[in-house]
Amino acid sequence: MQPHALLPGGLLALSLLACSTPGPSKGEPKPSGERPPNIVFFLADDLGYGEVGAFGSELIPTPHIDSIAAGGMRLTQHYSGSPVCASSRCVLLTGLHTGHCEVRNNWENGGWGEGEPEGQWPLAAGTATLARQLKDAGYATGAVGKWGLGGPGTTGAPENQGFDFFCGYLCQRIAHNHYPTHLWRNGERLPLGDNPWYDSHQRLAEPLETEEEYYARYDAGVYAHDVMKEEALTFLREHADEPFFLYYASPIPHASLQVPPEWLEPFPREWDEAPYLGTKGYLPHPRPRAAYAAMVAHLDAEVGAVLDTLEELGVADDTLVVFTSDNGPTFNGGTDSTFFASAAGMRGLKCSVHEGGIKVPTVASWPGRITAGSSSSFASAFEDWLPTLLDVAGAQPRGATDGVSLVPTLTGRGQQVPHDHLYWEYAGQQAVRQGRWKAVRTRLRKGDLTTLLFDLESDPNEKRNVAKDEPEVLARMEALFLAARTPSEQFPLPAIDTPIEAGG
């Protein structure tokens, strides 16, 4: 697809259901000539557990995401791979949690100026990604949205990691601007009309005179999400006659707060008493709460457009659809997680290994296999999707994985293999969950190995540390902190992989 003008914005009236036929479970041979189900995997960016209607939101309309839940299952105890972007995506695409995967934190290849090198730490050549393994299983593999696992021309670029098609942001920093000068399409730079470059972390000393001045400066031109949506729909149309995997990794609602102005109209003006001037990072906006809700509504409409296209192509009944978020809601850029109850009462936000930073809204629809309107409290995480989706495709993971197939949980057929534990590490923090127990360390950068212990069954919001009351459980969980991981030279864990300097 060539660069093109935006279609008009607005809330779309779209068909709601996404469906699929049964796929083979482990041990079930696929009949000769049977086509495996298609897979569409939506990944939001910084979307909180409490920001989706199906998980309790009353302020932001998400009818299309909710329709996936209505036609399928809510996974109420599902966790992201990490509390930040790049490492969470690495877990998702490799099936290895952050104690074993290559990318365990965000890492930058450049700064904020125009013309800086793009990209984050690249995946190594030949990584056994989900896309590569589904491609080997006969799938057409496509991705749109935010990548974050390797810049242009690197070993980590999506075209070098198993994707037949990609259109979107290779660099997470560039993705802070939703009206960028360019995207990337199959390794080639894709200019977006006459969008000007500007620093996505500008501040204003005082408000501009009118709202229109904000919109003319920051919310005018080609909105990247409309381009990526159309590219995704084209991918679906071009591959409707063969099994396909579409990874739809939207940068919404990650700041900056930017959305076509007409999308603000459904949201109350009284929500915003004052403009956001950029004082907590990212671009300013005259109506920050309305803008945030409008961005989520825009994402929901994108989901609806994909679901509607599956119906139009006659492949909805052969498609498994999953929707989730890469981590919990953020705390900066003019966002207001308190106002929206974004973390649904849980402790922590993005960048935290407490529940609010890693438990994410997750729904899946697979009619004929997943019971409509069902839910599961099985504790699962991003490392499970690689073995799950390969199971759906009738394939086995190539190499080690920390995940288990969730097909028995999704379908209610067969015995679900349990996790012994779930593990996360990030920037001087560790967390491990084993059954009802969760242990957390947050001060490793200070050389402090103190462990907090929570009973999630009686205390799901991690308000009471019971470490002193449960010494045997505490000892077992602290042993898991060591056993669950291998050292990382590029992303060392302070106080464990490297010594802490005096005063550090």
Residue-wise pLDDT tens digits, 370-398: 999 999 999 999 999 999 999 999 999 99
Rounded to the nearest angstrom, the gap between the alpha carbon of residue 351 and the centroid of all alpha carbons in its chain is: 14
- Is residue 335 within 8 A of residue 258, CB to CB? The reply is no
From CA 380, how far away is CA 322, in angstroms rounded?
A: 14
Structure tokens at 40: 């569409």
| Residue 113 pLDDT grade (very low, low, confident, very high; cuts 50, 70, 90) | confident
Q: Which helix (H) or strand (E) holds 224?
A: helix 224-238
From CA 5, how far away is CA 198, in angstroms rounded?
A: 21
Domains of the chain: 38-420 (3.40.720.10), 428-483 (3.30.1120.10)
From CA 166, how far away is CA 246, in angstroms rounded?
A: 10
- Roughly what angle, to the nearest 10 degrees, separates helices 288-312 and 224-238? 10
Instruction: Tell me: pLDDT of 110 over 80.
Output: yes
Q: Greater confidence, 491 or 34?
A: 491
CA-closest candidate to residue 299, choices 355, 340, 258? 258
User: 27 vs 23, 156, 407, 414, CA distance in Å?
Assistant: 12, 33, 12, 10
How many CB atoms are closer than 10 A to CB 197?
13
pLDDT computed for residue 112 by the predictor = 85
Q: Which residues contact 273 (CB under 8 A, 6 or more apart)?
A: none
Instruction: Tell me: pLDDT of 47 over 50.
Output: yes
Sort 206 into a burial class: Cβ within 10 Å, 0-12 / 13-18 / 19+. exposed
Instruction: Tell me: pLDDT of 360 over 70.
Output: yes
Cα-Cα-Cα-Cα dihedral sign, residues 407, 410, 411, 416: positive
Rounded to the nearest angstrom, the gap between the alpha carbon of residue 196 and the centroid of all alpha carbons in its chain is: 28
Structure tokens at 431: 């967390």
Amino acid symbol at 72: G
DSSP characters for 374-389?
Answer: EEE---EEGGGHHHHH
Average pLDDT of span 96-121: 94
Radius of gyration, CA atoms only, the chain: 22
The percentage of the chain sitting over the pLDDT mark of 90, rounded to a whole number, equals 89
Structure tokens at 341: 């109850």
pLDDT tens figures, 138-180:
999 999 999 999 999 999 999 999 999 999 999 999 999 999 9
CA-closest candidate to residue 139, choices 403, 399, 408, 395? 395
What's the pTM?
Answer: 0.92
From CA 227, how far away is CA 225, in angstroms rounded?
A: 5
Average pLDDT of span 353-376: 96
pLDDT tens figures, 316-333:
999 999 999 999 999 999
| 59-97 burial: b if 16+ Cβ within 10 Å, else e | bbbbbbbbbbbbbbbbbbbbbbbbbbbbbbbbbbbbbbb
**Residues linked to residue 190 through DSSP beta bridges, in sequence order:** 183
Q: Cis before residue 32, ω within 30 degrees of 0?
A: no
Rounded to the nearest angstrom, the gap between the alpha carbon of residue 463 and the centroid of all alpha carbons in its chain is: 26
| Residue 233 pLDDT grade (very low, low, confident, very high; cuts 50, 70, 90) | very high
Q: Which helix (H) or strand (E) holds 44?
A: strand 38-44
**Residues linked to residue 248 through DSSP beta bridges, in sequence order:** 42, 144
- Is residue 219 within 8 A of residue 257, CB to CB? The reply is no
Amino acid symbol at 398: R
- Roughly what angle, to the nearest 10 degrees, separates helices 385-392 and 85-94? 40
The percentage of the chain sitting over the pLDDT mark of 70, rounded to a whole number, equals 92
Q: Which residues contact 499 (CB under 8 A, 6 or more apart)?
A: none
pLDDT tens figures, 259-288:
999 999 999 999 999 999 999 999 999 999
390: helix, coil or strand?
Answer: helix
Backbone φ, ψ for residue 7 (5° rounding): -80, 155
Structure tokens at 175: 């993705």
CA-closest candidate to residue 76, choices 374, 320, 353, 436? 374
Q: Cα 120–125–127 angle (5° rounding)?
A: 90
| 173-195 burial: b if 16+ Cβ within 10 Å, else e | bbbbbbbbbbbbbeeeebebeeb
Amino acid symbol at 341: A
Average pLDDT of span 244-257: 98
